[in-house]
Amino acid sequence: MLDVQGLLSDRARLIQASGIRRVLELGATLDNPINLSIGQPDFDVPRPMREAAINAIEAGKNGYAMTTGVPELVRRCGKHLHQDLGWPADTGKAHADTRVLVTGGTAGALFLVMQALLNAGDEIILPDPYFVAYPNMATCAGGVSVFCDTYPDLRMTAQRVEPLITERTKAVLHVSPSNPAGVVASEEECRDLLELCRSKGVLLISDEIYDEFTFDPHRIDTPFGRRCPSPGRFPGAHEDVLIIRGFGKTYACTGWRMGYCAGPASLVMEMTKLQQYSWVCAPTPLQHACVAAFECDMSREVNAYEKRAQTVIDQLPMCDIPVPGGAFYAFVEIPKRLGMTGTEVFEAAAERNVLVIPGNVFSERDTHIRISYATAEDKLAQGLDVLAGILS
């Protein structure tokens, strides 16, 4: 029998299976569980996008696309960033300052930029708590994850990041609204972090997958309307920031694996080269479908999720919870008087047919649980009742 374990690379051995997937596997063994674990919107893909996908398939747009993306979608993403951030639009010309790359979800963009930047031993600074893929992507690239402790308020500030920057630091990864906490960075925090990275010659990566899923009290006034604060909103930011955005969360098409990034042309061109020799291009018919996303109004869905966020706060008054300003998560601290870890609360909830995710899946600590309120309101209320009983 082949000794597969003996053939495995060190890289593969260092990667751990996702804790979220382990929770999903447990959920498959439960009878109709109340699932407050997965970051999957509970509404449907807007009809214009579904129809555009069908039309693209029926029209035969099923072959390879250009590695950078379907030209119509690249132009539309560039136009949106110009209108939203004031960035120079990607004109497609050889000497453009800013480039857009359509990727296989935002995860595709994150993976590509780490592959493009990190040599063995190079460092990338990540927030703690973090999205589960971040440190594993860095490991795949041979890099080292340096964690920025953001407790207790879960805000990644320049003051917290600066002591962590060394001569090996290549990038700082900032995410707002955040996963797992839904915390939205302020305009001042974004500016300070951008100025710090500029002064140190470090790339600032801004993961903005939930940018449209920002609740109005946390938006700021811009020349283009009420928008989520971003490091990309300051003059010249297109020279120093890689913006990563996507369609999956806002438009409920997570399985389509559609995202895009934009930033310094020289960096995006290197990422494009890596994409060419990996998954070639994002799914062609779905790229055509995502052009329609820019005309879809999702305010009703965002407003409904804002109300659910408040429901979580109201039903768990015994817990310290940074108020979510966006996305659809709450990162709930376990009351210290209980003497329980996040894993223990997760296990107690699972015994009562409720699924959450223990904090150590997202953090070097196990002091919290993550709740996803992307579920039906009656199910959310039932699950929160169970959790309130455990946490009380």
Average pLDDT of the segment spanning 312-340:
95
92 has pLDDT over 60: no
Is the sign of the CA dihedral 241, 247, 251, 255 positive or negative?
negative
Per-residue model confidence (pLDDT) at position 59: 97
Could you tell me what percent of the chain has a pLDDT over 90?
Answer: 85
339 has pLDDT over 80: yes
Residue 108 — pLDDT band, cuts 50, 70, 90? very high
Per-residue model confidence (pLDDT) at position 146: 98
Q: Mean pLDDT, the chain, as a whole number?
A: 93
Architecture of domain 4-44+298-391: Alpha-Beta Complex (3.90)
Classify burial at 296, counting beta carbons within 10 Å of its beta carbon; exposed 0-12, middle 13-18, buried 19 or more: middle
Pair of tokens at residue 389: 């009983």
Q: CATH 3.40.640.10 spans which residues of the chain?
A: 47-295
267, 203 contact by CB (below 8 A): yes
pLDDT tens for each residue of 124-133: 999 999 999 9
95 has pLDDT over 60: no
Residue 27 — pLDDT band, cuts 50, 70, 90? low
pLDDT tens for each residue of 242-261: 999 999 999 999 999 999 99
Three-state SS letters, 39-72: CCCCCCCCHHHHHHHHHHHHCCCCCCCCCCCCHH
26 has pLDDT over 80: no
**Cis amide linkage into residue 229, ω under 30° from 0:** no
Higher pLDDT, 388 or 30: 388
356, 124 contact by CB (below 8 A): no
23 has pLDDT over 90: no
Q: Which CATH class is domain 47-295?
A: alpha beta
Per-residue model confidence (pLDDT) at position 211: 94
**Per mean pLDDT, which range of 5-14, 199-208, 308-317, 366-375 is the poorest?**
5-14
Average pLDDT of the segment spanning 343-348:
94
Pair of tokens at residue 52: 């555009």
Pair of tokens at residue 307: 């109300």
Q: CATH 3.90.1150.10 spans which residues of the chain?
A: 4-44+298-391
- How far apart are alpha carbons 47 and 83 in whole angstroms? 25
pLDDT tens for each residue of 213-233: 999 899 998 877 789 999 999
Residue 21 — pLDDT band, cuts 50, 70, 90? low
| Phi, psi values for residue 108, rounded to 5° | -60, -40
DSSP tag of 186? -
Which region, left, alpha or beta, applies to residue 176 given φ > 0 means left and ψ of -120 to 50 means alpha? beta
Instruction: State how far the alpha carbon of 10 is from the alpha carbons of 123, 140, 142, 318, in Å.
Output: 18, 10, 10, 44
pLDDT tens for each residue of 266-299: 999 999 999 999 999 999 999 999 999 999 999 9
Per-residue model confidence (pLDDT) at position 15: 80
Q: Look at residues 189, 116, 196 and name the one whose alpha carbon lies nearest to residue 163.
A: 196
DSSP tag of 230? -
Residue 119 — pLDDT band, cuts 50, 70, 90? very high
